[in-house]
């Protein structure tokens, strides 16, 4: 095979090809990643039979580790969306925080709702409430839009079971419980930064909330929503079980080595925990809609998962090829002393995100690039997942579908969206990586 330096040069060309093909020519990310994996393996002189074997192995190993979790997460998120559970959770947060602090309440609601629900879906679901609150409190829709969108964005990019962070955790073999805890910690200051940006920068722009009904009238129109406690259960229970398993796996064996510890390891496995989350979410479905939930909603969740699964698998194939290349040894010998630390995955993810628009593609591609060199650079896998997530926020602009969801559903001109929303995602990402770098001192 070629030398390590040449292999690294080919990697730079591969990343450039991914950016150009997905951003400029709008090619499907799965096709691009698989194609680049094959071409990179051939370019570095890997035997052809090994190229095919590594592509197959990388794809299978990645999906075998994380595939069921992604499917269960998307099914659960879609059921929470369709049953009104996301609205029920938001109302509970509003009651707790108060309508007089509506922007903060919507930031926190976004932070919670986007853990199981895609950020763009979450924004669409919560926009009527957001507009009604803006009208009632005489607040600019610019403030409310930035507050909600940045709250949703923070956990969407950094906290499982959102598909991007789950896929990255699987690729980097990071402890999922630890990723959840660290992601929640890092996402909260990022969310607060977005809220402050909304209250200081976005408030300079007045956008009228185009809604005729009041907040109370809107609630009446929504009809009967699921019980608040039950609405939170599909989200909270799997997270707690995964965290318990992480505790059970500590070297000190706090639960011992008997049957109870084995049960915790079983029930807290991400696959089991997320399957239980799906079961709990079905208790939210009205009896008359169970058939719809089983056939249509689950089917929709699986279809949502499919594209993420194939892109994640393709990222695993690319990562496997990179692991077998001379580049790994070259980096170990020549680049590990540069001390970029968590800035390396952050910068790569930010470059990919800004260039091609999709946070999920940026997360999956960056984790595939980082996987073979993680131990060489001495980076913590869980923190690396969060650093990648922070980078995947920088920045959301016109090539990102979420940019258009936020701007169009809020009656926001594109020029204004760049000034108050795109800039907010930059601030969020920077705050996120700062928190990660602080945590890396102690972990």
First to last CA, the chain: 37
pLDDT score at 440: 96
pLDDT score at 258: 87
Confidence of residue 59 (pLDDT cuts 50, 70, 90): very high
Triad 116, 121, 124: Cα angle to 5°: 135
- Which residue range forms the structural domain that includes residue 349? 4-442
Name the burial class of residue 33, with classes exposed (0-12), middle (13-18) and buried (19+) by CB atoms within 10 angstroms of its CB.
Answer: buried
**Count of beta carbons in the 10 Å neighbourhood of residue 375:** 11
**108-162, pLDDT tens digit by residue?**
999 999 998 899 999 999 999 999 999 989 999 999 999 999 999 999 999 998 8
- Mean pLDDT, the chain, rounded, equals 92
pLDDT of 212 over the 70 cut: no
Contact (CB, 8 A) for 241 and 268: yes
**283-338, pLDDT tens digit by residue?**
999 888 888 888 899 999 999 899 999 999 999 999 999 989 998 888 877 766 66
pLDDT of 65 over the 90 cut: no
Q: How many domains does the chain have?
A: 1
Mean pLDDT of 16-20: 92
Residue ranges of E strands in 29-96: none
pLDDT score at 392: 97
Confidence of residue 414 (pLDDT cuts 50, 70, 90): very high
pLDDT score at 143: 98
């Amino acid at each position: 095979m070629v030398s390590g330096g040449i292999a690294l040069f080919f990697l730079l060309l591969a990343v450039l090809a991914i950016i150009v093909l997905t951003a400029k020519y709008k090619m499907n990310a799965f096709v691009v990643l698989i194609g680049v994996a094959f071409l990179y393996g051939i370019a570095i002189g890997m035997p052809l039979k090994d190229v095919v074997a590594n592509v197959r192995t990388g794809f299978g190993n990645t999906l075998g580790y994380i595939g069921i979790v992604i499917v269960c997460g998307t099914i659960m998120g879609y059921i929470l969306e369709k049953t009104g559970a996301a609205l029920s959770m938001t109302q509970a947060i509003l009651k707790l925080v108060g309508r007089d602090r509506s922007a903060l309440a919507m930031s926190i609601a976004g932070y919670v709702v986007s853990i199981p629900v895609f950020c763009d879906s979450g924004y669409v679901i919560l926009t009527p409430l957001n507009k009604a609150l803006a009208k009632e409190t005489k607040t600019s829709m610019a403030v409310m839009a930035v507050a909600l969108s940045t709250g949703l964005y923070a956990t969407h990019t950094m906290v499982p079971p959102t598909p991007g962070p789950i896929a990255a955790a699987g690729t980097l073999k990071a402890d999922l419980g630890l990723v959840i805890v660290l992601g929640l910690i890092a996402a909260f200051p990022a969310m607060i930064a977005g809220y402050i940006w909304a209250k200081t920068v976005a408030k300079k722009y007045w956008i009228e909330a185009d809604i005729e009904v009041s907040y109370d009238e809107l609630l009446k129109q929504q009809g009967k929503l699921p019980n608040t406690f039950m609405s939170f259960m599909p989200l909270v229970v799997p997270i707690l079980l995964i965290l318990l398993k992480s505790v059970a796996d500590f070297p000190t064996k706090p639960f011992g080595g008997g049957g109870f510890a084995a049960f915790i390891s079983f029930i807290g496995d991400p696959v089991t925990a997320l399957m239980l989350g799906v079961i709990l979410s079905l208790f939210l479905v009205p009896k008359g809609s169970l058939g719809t939930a089983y056939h249509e909603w689950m089917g929709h969740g699986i279809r949502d998962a499919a594209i993420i699964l194939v892109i994640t698998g393709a990222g695993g194939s690319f990562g496997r090829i990179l692991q077998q290349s001379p580049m790994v040894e070259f980096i170990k010998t020549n680049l590990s002393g540069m001390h970029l630390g968590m800035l390396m995955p952050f910068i790569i993810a930010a470059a990919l995100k800004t260039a091609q628009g999709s946070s999920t593609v940026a997360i999956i591609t960056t984790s595939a690039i980082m996987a073979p060199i993680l131990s060489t650079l001495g980076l913590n896998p869980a923190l690396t997942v969060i650093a990648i997530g922070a980078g995947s926020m920088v920045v959301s602009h016109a090539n990102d579908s979420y940019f258009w969801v936020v701007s169009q559903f809020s009656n926001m001109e594109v020029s204004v969206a760049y000034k108050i929303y795109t800039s907010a995602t930059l601030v969020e990402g920077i705050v996120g990586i700062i928190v990660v770098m602080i945590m890396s001192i102690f972990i």
